[in-house]
Structure 1
Amino acid sequence: KPITLIESGVILVYLAKKTGNGMYPSDPGEQLEVDQWSLHGQATFGPGVTPIGHLEHRVPGDNAGAKAFFRGRAERLYETLNLRLEGRSCIALDRYTVADVAHFTWVNRHTDQKIDLDRYPNVKRWYETIRARPAVQRGVALVAA
């Protein structure tokens, strides 16, 4: 029976489960870890860093107060992610999962957000590693086309 899905996070988990590619674990404890960090990317990190990118590039006029507020929020979120990635290769588990995908999309826009990844060395290391993955490069190229 055909199904229709909405919400990128649900689609990510569905595809990972369907393909069995290991991006969504079968262990219930690991699932919770992946779920919480996937939701962080989708419901906290992404919506928290998006406004500064819009204010920097798409909203005309002097918005100094709004920029300061949203820049502070974005920097706190990058710092949270930086702390999480201390001594870790990936966000949720010791391997690439949908939680990494859920954050990568937003971190990949760090230049639009005017976020200097040098201030967040763990995020920078993680970002460069994820961005070097061939499948990620293909996906980024599709979006840029």
Structure 2
Amino acid sequence: MIDLYYWTTPNGHKITLFLEEAGLPYRIVPINIGKGEQFQPDFLKIAPNNRIPAIVDTAPTGGGEPISVFESGAILLYLAEKTGRFLSADPRQRIDTLQWLFWQMGGLGPMAGQNHHFTQYAPEAVPYAIERYVKETARLYSVLDKRLADRPFIAGDAYSIADMACYPWVVPHDKQRQNLDDFPHLKRWFEAIGARPATARAYALTAQINPAPVMDEAARKVLFGQDAAVVKRP
């Protein structure tokens, strides 16, 4: 059984995409990040960066004590190796998948995240920041569009953890001020993944767990007011 510590964010969706595709038994433990539940001591034991998602595998391969994993990319890699799915054993195919997984972790996710912050959540508009991150998001979309020009999925012919990592960060493209018509290969890929039954099941969880998303002032302070003190406190 996989215990998934989850909230309805792009990084959270990555893991439900995998679990639904693989058919692994799992249990969701909601962590409402707008209410500060990511600072609970029990959660910090498995996710010291106070961020979702995190997992605890209560039945790891080979037996023994449960294994906990934090950071979405590390979780996808762990689950792929556990199941033998969505990550090829062929060394060339494997490294191709992993480099695009890390591309998402180091580029698409952080840059689109800053885009969201300055276009959606910042208390005042900062034109330089908005332009900076909207343009960088567009550049990254173009990189992905070019990659997908001659292959159905990011790492080739097979759906992989690279696709699962990238897809949730393209879902909010309107909020990122991106038009998918400008990226036809990316749009074709995006629509194909959206049509997968496992994708529909994964995203249906949002309505169950977070049916009325809200970003009030209290949530803003929790999410955007963190400094070193939140790590140092008991």
Q: TM-score range by the shorter chain?
A: over 0.9
How far is 1:100 from its partner? 0.3
> Deviating runs (4+, > 2 A) in structure 1?
none
How far is 1:58 from its partner? 0.7
- How far apart in 2 are the matches of 1:144 and 1:42? 26
1:51-84: CA deviations, max 9, x gaps? 1122121112231111111111111111111111
Task: Report what 2:77 is aligned to.
Answer: 13
- How far apart in 2 are the matches of 1:144 and 1:113? 22
- How far apart in 1 are the matches of 2:136 and 2:101? 19
Corresponding pairs, count: 144
More helix by share: 1
Alignment-mate amino acid for residue 26 of structure 1: A
**Matched residue SS, 2:70:** coil
How far is 1:108 from its partner? 1.1
- How far apart in 2 are the matches of 1:78 and 1:120? 7
Structure 2: stretches of 5+ with no match in the other structure: 1-63, 209-234
Q: Which of the residues 155, 179, 184 maps onto 1:121?
A: 184
Please give the TM-score of this superposition, normalised by the length of structure 1.
0.93
Please give the TM-score of this superposition, normalised by the length of structure 2.
0.59
Supply the RMSD in Å over aligned alpha carbons: 1.2
Structure 1: stretches of 5+ with no match in the other structure: none
Please show how residues 130-145 of structure 1 align to structure 2 within 5 Å: 130-145=193-208
The answer to whether the 8 Å contact 2:173/2:180 transfers is yes
Report sequence identity in percent: 39
Task: Report what 1:27 is aligned to.
Answer: 90
Task: Report what 1:4 is aligned to.
Answer: 68
Alignment-mate amino acid for residue 40 of structure 1: W
Alignment-mate amino acid for residue 18 of structure 1: K
More strand by share: 2
1:102-137: CA deviations, max 9, x gaps? 101101121221211111111110000011111011
Larger displacement relative to structure 2 (63-72 or 123-132) = 63-72
**Matched residue SS, 1:96:** coil
Q: Which of the residues 40, 45, 63 maps onto 2:126?
A: 63
The answer to whether the 8 Å contact 1:49/1:77 transfers is no
The answer to whether the 8 Å contact 2:87/2:160 transfers is yes
- How far apart in 2 are the matches of 1:84 and 1:8? 22
**Matched residue SS, 1:83:** helix
- How far apart in 1 are the matches of 2:125 and 2:73? 35
Alignment-mate amino acid for residue 44 of structure 1: G
The answer to whether the 8 Å contact 1:90/1:96 transfers is yes
Larger displacement relative to structure 2 (78-87 or 7-16) = 7-16
- How far apart in 2 are the matches of 1:64 and 1:92? 36
How far is 1:143 from its partner? 3.0
The answer to whether the 8 Å contact 2:116/2:175 transfers is yes
Q: Which of the residues 97, 116, 132 maps onto 1:53?
A: 116
Alignment-mate amino acid for residue 36 of structure 1: Q
Q: Which has the larger radius of gyration?
A: 2
